[in-house]
A and B are shown apart, each in its own frame.
Chain A
Amino acid sequence: MDNVLAFGAASAEAGRIDAVFLFITVIGGFFFLLTQGLLIYFAVRYRRRSPERDNETPGITGNHLLEFFWILIPTLVVVAIFYYGWRVYDDLREPRPGATEVYVTGRQWMWEVKYPDGRTALNEIRVPQGKPVKFILTATDVIHGFYLPDFRVKMDAIPGRLTSLWVQPDRTGEYTIYCTVYCGDGHSNMNARLIVMPPEQYVAWAAGKEERGEGEEQLSLHERGERIVGRTGCLNCHAVSGKEKIGPNFHGVYGSTVPLSDGTSVKADEEYLRESIVDPGAKVVKGYPNVMPTYKTTLKPDEVQAVIEFLKKPD
């Protein structure tokens, strides 16, 4: 769904917001044509034709009737726009009854997802098509913004507070979630995916029949690791090679000698990589901030193995 145009709304509610957008566009367009039209018409029509004309222009200094109308009409128009914008906003404030709830926590620079039944995920939210879903937001460090452009909604995720927003997706597919409140170096990489599944598939997935990372076990360890690295947000902070992001590049880590912030250094073997993933604060690479989150609870031991296998040959 990445190439939807401005009006590829992904829910009925988004369609209502687009209607407000269109309404303002039409009114704005009218005033645009009126004012720019007169501006340009007058500028051309009344350009100086002869020097004598300079002293013959009419001494018009105002017109109370005109002033009255061009105060009254814009006032009515803006009140109408306000009302329509408020109406739709107010109607869409409360989620439809029976909404599934998903807890989403923003942290530098990823989205942690918790489902009420205890499942967790990173940067990936799965929801059923056609059912209302309420996202309950908070943040652990700084303010983040949770933005779903295809649904025309956003809400800030604020430390120490819970805020929320909801959607009811009409169509299955994948939608991008952006962070909209500036939060530091990884801000523009803090994306996540909203995956809207057909209801039956969602039920199966939620019942655990279809494990998260479905079918990954069948892949080679290296391929599996690559998938996991892709879906758990490592690449928000690490590049494989080329320009560095927040953490060191993956290329060439394995087997190298890594200088640490306490002045010592360590050889990057399997155990070091494992520790870097499940307890990143234990050994912090020199010159980098200690901001990598722990993956102790989100990755199972065999998933960590797969990631290590991938890190050995990341390109």
Chain B
Amino acid sequence: MSAGEESGIAGNGRGYLSERGWRSWAFTLDHKRIGAMYLWSTIVFFLLGGVFALLLRLELLSPQAKYFSNHAYNVFFTLHGAMMIFLFVIPAIPSGLGNFLIPLHLGAKDVAFPRLNLASYWIFAAGFLVIIGSLVAPMDTGWTFYTPYSAKTGAAVATLSLGVFLIGMSSILTGLNFIVTIHKLRAPGMTWHRLPLFIWSMYATSIIQVVATPVVGVTFLLLAAERLLGVGFFDPSKGGDPVLFQHFFWFYSHPVVYVMILPAMGIVSEVIPVFSRKPIFGYNAIAYSSLAIAFIGFLVWGHHMFTSGMSPLANTIFSFLTFFVAVPTAVKVFNWIATLYRGSITFESPMLYALTFIFLFIIGGLTGPFLGALATNVQLHDTYFVVAHFHYTMMGGTVMGFFAGLHYWFPKMTGRMLNEKVARVAWALVFLGFNLTFFTMFIAGTRGMPRRYAEYIPKFHTENVISTVGSAILALGILVMMWNFVQGLRKGAQAPSDPWRSLTLEWRAASPPETENFHEIPQVADWPYGYGTRKA
């Protein structure tokens, strides 16, 4: 503890941010800088994807096409989905916050392979440049690329697939890097059961990335071959099978929903105990449920295809297995809530977002069984109900977790504090706007509105108007949050090394940390959740 306190006091310089100039970023091997580059890139794509979302909502104000052609609408939802998924939700927490935090959490100087880490970033950048390049003939297939449509449309499908392929390669390398780092670079005394839960969730995430991503890489190569060389893997007139593509796609994309959610769950598991001043409840249950989710997540991809003509037996098995993902997920929720019990809870912005995560994720999670049960899936599949479900899990879950993390670690990453009042205003707008936008989609979906509709029949008008109003409020909230970040960076108060009185190792480093992270490698004698009972 004492060594940490010292470095904390010494930490009013610019730490790892001291060097300036583009070279100091482009060629950096520092995991913190690489993490920061990922954060900047992914936040830019989040905002860009958000602009597309607002255009979609604008068009849906009226049942008939009013502002854009149907084709433009289709392009917008494809770009919205593809950017949000591939360029924001998948990389933001693992590659952004993960890069920044994993070595700090472990008490290490850097990740195991710093050069590989830099290469991963640049492969990622190549990927997003290629994706931006594909805008010359913008994609209109939806982020799911279903064949045969994607094999026929005139858009730059092969280009975008190449972009996603590169992004995937970057995730695989990052995943490998993290797995080795977690195995090899733990500080003395940092046993597996003293690891912060964020590390456990990142460990499970990395395994999924390494195992699942190659499949999507190959799938997109096959798709490119189909388009460019006319091979007929997915073309029935050439003996192929269009549904095979869906199997390949979901074999990757279902596990990947856990790549999106597990890291956010890790953040919530860090934030809740700190602001409750109580140890986390059920450490082992939370840690191992991440692994259980990662494992079961590989066996359920067929639940996206119940109406694709799969055999009834396959449908039954996939439905049965799907329900078992719900159990470890529920266990986590119960453990977080139990952590609050008899705590001494304060509501700073990281905690507000963490509690919001739990609140919204419960709704997302409880609507999963409607989709997992066969009888109701056949009704709700491909309607707005699914859109609502995955926004509650991914935006209500992952993105709220990400916001919690950004507010929580902002002082560590930048050395400055955020304006708490502004942060709360932003939070209130986001919370209100989110629920208006997406809850109405459950209603529209239950009443039968199909997804990916540029035009709809007037009976769904009310839901859509409310949703669009909600999206404007949500957007305003996010703008206020971004403005707060910029203001914080420019003139936020100096951050102490441990503003939230947290026990994980990153708070023993200076704010912002020195390039080497710690003056001496910390010794770990206990788990990081001994709040409250600990004698100060």
Tell me how many residues of B have a C-beta within 8 Å of chain A.
96
- The 8 Å CB contact of A17, one of B237, B379, B452, B535, is B379
What chain B residues lie within 8 Å of A57 (beta carbons)?
276-278, 342-344, 531-533
If A61-B281, A156-B308 touch, does A184 touch B149 (CB 8 Å cutoff)?
A: yes
A81 to B140, CA, bound (A): 37
Contact B340 A184 (CB under 8 A): no
What chain B residues lie within 8 Å of A49 (beta carbons)?
344
Residue B51 at the A interface, CB < 8 A?
A: no
Q: What does the 1/0 interface line of A20-42 toward B look like (CB < 8 Å)?
A: 11001001100110011011001
Q: What does the 1/0 interface line of A25-67 toward B look like (CB < 8 Å)?
A: 0011001100110110011001111000111111111110011
Contact A62 B327 (CB under 8 A): no
B446 to chain A, nearest CB (A): 5
B226 to chain A, nearest CB (A): 13
Contact A93 B312 (CB under 8 A): yes
Residue A161 at the B interface, CB < 8 A?
A: yes
Count A-B contacts at CB 8 Å: 286
Residue A126 at the B interface, CB < 8 A?
A: no
Residue B233 at the A interface, CB < 8 A?
A: no
Pick from B121-129, B204-212, B356-364 the stretch touching chain A.
B356-364
A82 to B142, CA, bound (A): 30
Interface residues on A, range: 35 or more
Contact B330 A158 (CB under 8 A): no
Residue A243 at the B interface, CB < 8 A?
A: yes
Q: What does the 1/0 interface line of A83-97 toward B look like (CB < 8 Å)?
A: 011111110110000
B197 to chain A, nearest CB (A): 13
Residue A273 at the B interface, CB < 8 A?
A: no
If A46-B340, A46-B342, A61-B281 touch, does A78 touch B362 (CB 8 Å cutoff)?
A: no
A55 to B237, CA, bound (A): 71
A260 to B245, CA, bound (A): 37
Residue B323 at the A interface, CB < 8 A?
A: yes
If A61-B283, A78-B326, A187-B452 touch, does A142 touch B533 (CB 8 Å cutoff)?
A: no
Contact A36 B362 (CB under 8 A): yes
Q: What does the 1/0 interface line of B430-472 toward A look like (CB < 8 Å)?
A: 0000000000000100111011111111010000000000000
In the complex, residue of chain B having the shortest beta-carbon distance to the beta carbon of A189: B455
Pick from A110-118, A143-151, A198-206, A210-218 the stretch touching chain B.
A143-151
Contact A39 B243 (CB under 8 A): no
Contact A60 B278 (CB under 8 A): yes
Q: What does the 1/0 interface line of A164-177 toward B look like (CB < 8 Å)?
A: 00000000000010
Residue B229 at the A interface, CB < 8 A?
A: no
A31 to B337, CA, bound (A): 13
Contact A35 B450 (CB under 8 A): no
Residue A250 at the B interface, CB < 8 A?
A: no
What chain A residues lie within 8 Å of B243 (beta carbons)?
158, 161
Contact A43 B331 (CB under 8 A): no
- The 8 Å CB contact of A184, one of B74, B307, B377, is B74
* Chain B positions 32-70 with a Cβ under 8 Å from a chain A Cβ: 64-66, 69-70
A209 to B269, CA, bound (A): 72
Contact A152 B378 (CB under 8 A): yes
Contact A85 B373 (CB under 8 A): yes
What chain B residues lie within 8 Å of A152 (beta carbons)?
378-379
What chain A residues lie within 8 Å of B377 (beta carbons)?
85
If A57-B342, A59-B533, A186-B70 touch, does A153 touch B378 (CB 8 Å cutoff)?
A: yes
Q: What does the 1/0 interface line of B376-393 toward A look like (CB < 8 Å)?
A: 111101110000000000
Residue B131 at the A interface, CB < 8 A?
A: no
Residue B146 at the A interface, CB < 8 A?
A: yes
A47 to B277, CA, bound (A): 11
What chain A residues lie within 8 Å of B146 (beta carbons)?
143, 181-182
- The 8 Å CB contact of B331, one of A71, A153, A163, A182, is A71
* 16 A-B residue pairings within 8 Å (CB atoms): A20-B373, A32-B363, A54-B344, A57-B342, A57-B344, A59-B530, A59-B533, A81-B369, A84-B373, A85-B373, A147-B383, A147-B448, A155-B378, A158-B308, A161-B243, A182-B142
Q: A27-B369, A82-B373 are in contact. List 18 more A-B contacts (CB 8 A).
A: A6-B446, A28-B367, A36-B362, A42-B345, A55-B532, A57-B344, A60-B279, A89-B312, A90-B374, A142-B149, A149-B447, A153-B379, A156-B308, A161-B243, A182-B142, A188-B450, A188-B453, A243-B66
Chain A interface (Cβ within 8 Å of chain B)? Answer: 2-3, 5-6, 16-17, 20-21, 24, 27-28, 31-32, 35-36, 38-39, 42-43, 46-49, 53-63, 66-67, 70-71, 74-75, 78-79, 81-82, 84-90, 92-93, 141-143, 145, 147, 149-150, 152-156, 158-161, 163, 176, 178-189, 191, 243-246
